[in-house]
Structure 1
Amino acid sequence: MAGNSQRRGAVRKAGTKKGPTVGSGGVRRRGLEGKGATPPAHQRPHHPAAKRAAKAARQQQGRHRKTDDTEIVLGRNPVVECLRAGVPATALYVALGADSDERLTEAVQTAADKGIAILEVPRHDLDRIAANGMHQGLALQVPPYSYAHPDDLLAAAKKDAAPPLLVALDNISDPRNLGAIVRSVAAFGGHGVLIPQRRSASVTAVAWRTSAGAAARTPVARATNLNRALKQYADAGVQIVGLDAGGDTAIDEIDGSGPIMVVVGSEGKGLSRLVRENCDAIVSIPMAGPTESLNASVAAGVVLAEIARQRRG
């Protein structure tokens, strides 16, 4: 009824007022602001140019990677031979479910006796390491060899009662020759081996195995420049004797009683020209019969045996 003051009119419920009841906190305003200049294409994460730049960076990093990385020896016979030779391994990997034989048993037992970690891994992990898959369920991890400095090699040799007897290698690329020469140096009382940093065999697991553990007792130094190192040794009073099939001095004509370094060249290339010029004499081994030359490691052993004979006399 009109004019009835007791009648309630339309009442809006609480919280239903039109428009926002709470402010946006500036979200809408900031959403309308500019984000600055567009970055270059190679800096946008999902742009093809950025992917190409990342790939090039990875390749560049790979080119500057260290060359003396940890080495993995694969196969049952090589692993057992390395363990017998006393190669300073850090881990022995055994594939899960690998067939057991005397070589596997010996490898595990020897590693356990030497305190080498023994790890059982899935076979596909070894398959990824071995490109040809010929791991036979066994792998050995060998750390990089710790080379001596050429100056430290000569200083340590001078501390011995016997005159320094050293061997340098030129154009020797086979690690088996390196290992055999290290073994001969240790057998005939030598004090160390010097190798160039580039274009030369390094102390790998193969060299370790060939040296029959002598690499653990005979230091191997690596020179950035072999010719410069030879000159420094000569200035220190060491006689530099080159070993080459075309040498003009017989092996029994050299005097091995004083400080001496024997520089061994390869069978094919022999001594390089600069190394030959830095030698005080070029020695050859007289050969009987049609044989033209000896293996580099065998020739080095013959010369070292002659020097040891002279020193005994």
Structure 2
Amino acid sequence: MSLKLLYGFHAVGARLRAASDSVRELLVDTSRHDARMQQFLARAQDAGLAVIAADGARLDALAGTHRHQGVVARVEPLDKMSTLDAVLDATADTPLLLGLDGVTDPHNLGAILRTADCAGVHAVFAPKDRAVGLTPTVAKVASGAADTVQYIMVTNMARTLAALRERGLWVVGTAGEATDTLFDAKLAEPTALVLGAEGSGMRRLVREGCDQLVHIPMQGSVDSLNVSVAAGVCLFEAVRQRCCLAAASGKL
């Protein structure tokens, strides 16, 4: 089994909490003596992990960046579901999925996964040919959410949306020129939200595969949002609607 690399306090710390037995090597810069490092080392000791001392240059080379905060780990990949059908079959709650068409920046994906975890998204999906994978940079920015959120890469986005509609999900895409606003969408029902890349947006066939197109109302002079921010706005509108429905039905 090939090992993957994690770095940074958030990403490695989240793996220690979730599955410390999957950590095969833990390297730290022992020249750091601050409180944060001491807390991290105590957590590693509690998990029964041996720490390998390494200098900054070695950690830079392993991580491919100097933004590792003095913590790098080699870990086994966690078992995850490989298809959206498997995710939906295992979901007892009202499904909430997030599709990303053309998001290739690892910082954006990491931020989106972190938000998706907070919003209770059941899976994030993206096309294999126009998306970034789960790189160490994604894992660091995601602050542990790369391990907790199902991230599924699909062969064809348009066919995937058609399959989700057949399973009863309402597919809502975001487009600046859409007539409906985000607040017009009924997101408390089984939903797949779809966002496109900044600038180009969703591809034509993906756009045509949506049941409804919506835009986020903009009040200022700037006419667009970073895709990770837009994802947060859309997902927490879905959370708001679902909480309101639960409260009205006495389930909250």
Matched with 2:9 is 80
Matched with 2:86 is 152
What is the RMSD of the two structures over their aligned residues, measured on CA atoms? 3.1
| 1:113 equivalent among 19, 27, 46 | 46
Instruction: Indicate if the aligned counterparts of 1:179 and 1:207 stay in contact, CA closer than 8 A.
Output: yes
Structure 1 residues 248 and 144: alpha-carbon distance in aligned structure 2, compared to 1, 3 A threshold:
farther
Instruction: Indicate if the aligned counterparts of 1:86 and 1:212 stay in contact, CA closer than 8 A.
Output: no
How far does the alpha carbon of each residue in 1:255-282 deviate from its partner, in whole angstroms, 9 at most, with x for none? 1232110011122221112211111111
Instruction: Indicate if the aligned counterparts of 2:196 and 2:202 stay in contact, CA closer than 8 A.
Output: yes
Aligned residue type for 2:117? A
Mind listing any 5+ residue stretches in structure 1 that lack a counterpart?
Answer: 1-65, 74-78
Matched with 1:93 is 27
Matched with 1:184 is 115
C-alpha distance in 1, partners of 2:95/2:163?
Answer: 14
Matched with 1:228 is 159
C-alpha distance in 1, partners of 2:160/2:128?
Answer: 12
Please say if 1:244 is aligned against 2:244: no
After TM superposition, the score normalised by the length of structure 2 is 0.78
After TM superposition, the score normalised by the length of structure 1 is 0.64
Matched with 2:248 is none
Instruction: Indicate if the aligned counterparts of 2:32 and 2:70 stay in contact, CA closer than 8 A.
Output: no
C-alpha distance in 1, partners of 2:64/2:148?
Answer: 33
Mind listing any 5+ residue stretches in structure 2 that lack a counterpart?
Answer: 246-252
Structure 1 residues 288 and 237: alpha-carbon distance in aligned structure 2, compared to 1, 3 A threshold:
same
C-alpha distance in 1, partners of 2:119/2:64?
Answer: 40
| 2:129 equivalent among 189, 198, 204 | 198
Correspondence list, 1:247-286, <5 A: 247-286=178-217
- Structure of higher RCO (CA pairs closer than 8 Å, 6+ residues apart): 2
Aligned residue type for 1:101? H
Q: Could you say which structure has the larger radius of gyration?
A: 1
Instruction: Indicate if the aligned counterparts of 2:100 and 2:196 stay in contact, CA closer than 8 A.
Output: yes
How far does the alpha carbon of each residue in 1:4-52 deviate from its partner, in whole angstroms, 9 at most, with x for none? xxxxxxxxxxxxxxxxxxxxxxxxxxxxxxxxxxxxxxxxxxxxxxxxx
Aligned residue type for 1:228? R
Matched with 2:232 is 301
What is the SS of the residue equivalent to 2:153? strand
The alpha carbon displacement at 1:290 in A equals 0.6
Matched with 1:4 is none
Instruction: Indicate if the aligned counterparts of 2:27 and 2:52 stay in contact, CA closer than 8 A.
Output: yes
Count of residue pairs the alignment pairs up: 237
